[in-house]
Amino acid sequence: MRLSPSSAQFKPALYYQIFIPCDVLCLVLQAVGGALSTQSDGSSKVGVDLGLAGLSLQVVVIFVFIVLSIQYAFRYRKDVRAGKVSGDGFDAKFKLFVVFISLAIIVIFIRCVFRIYELTDGYSGSAFHDQGAFIGLESV
């Protein structure tokens, strides 16, 4: 909304209407899977599968969000160069915000991909007990 709604592929409100419910669905699937796994001491295949479904959907949703964000950035840049929109809204504070929000999205994406790898063999798999990978990727 701050830079150029006309540069977006879709109306800005549509992004909220799509990505927030998708994120909530992902978190609910992960929570239900975690709850089932906790009740069964990690032996519930349904719990692990629900958790993996939530994480997999989360990775897809974040990936689509990243792709649409990059597409918007290119369209905005093209529109600024063509003189269709002003490039004045991109001050130093906003640039810093974009850098850190981009970093946060990438780190969350990496964490979700790691969690899928970690849970592929359930809670008793070797990946789940790999402390080096856990410290390096989960704690990020």
Could you give the residue ranges of the DSSP H alpha helices within 40-91? 45-81
Count CB atoms within 10 A of the CB of residue 69. Answer: 15
The model's pLDDT over 10-57, given as tens digits with 9 standing for 90+, comes to 888 898 899 999 999 999 999 999 889 888 776 778 888 999 999 999
Distance CA 65, CA 103 (A): 14
Is-above-0.85 flag for pTM?
no
Distance CA 54, CA 52 (A): 5
Triad 55, 20, 105: Cα angle to 5°: 60
The model's pLDDT over 69-126, given as tens digits with 9 standing for 90+, comes to 999 989 988 988 898 888 777 788 888 999 999 999 999 999 899 889 888 887 777 7
Amino acid occupying residue 63: F
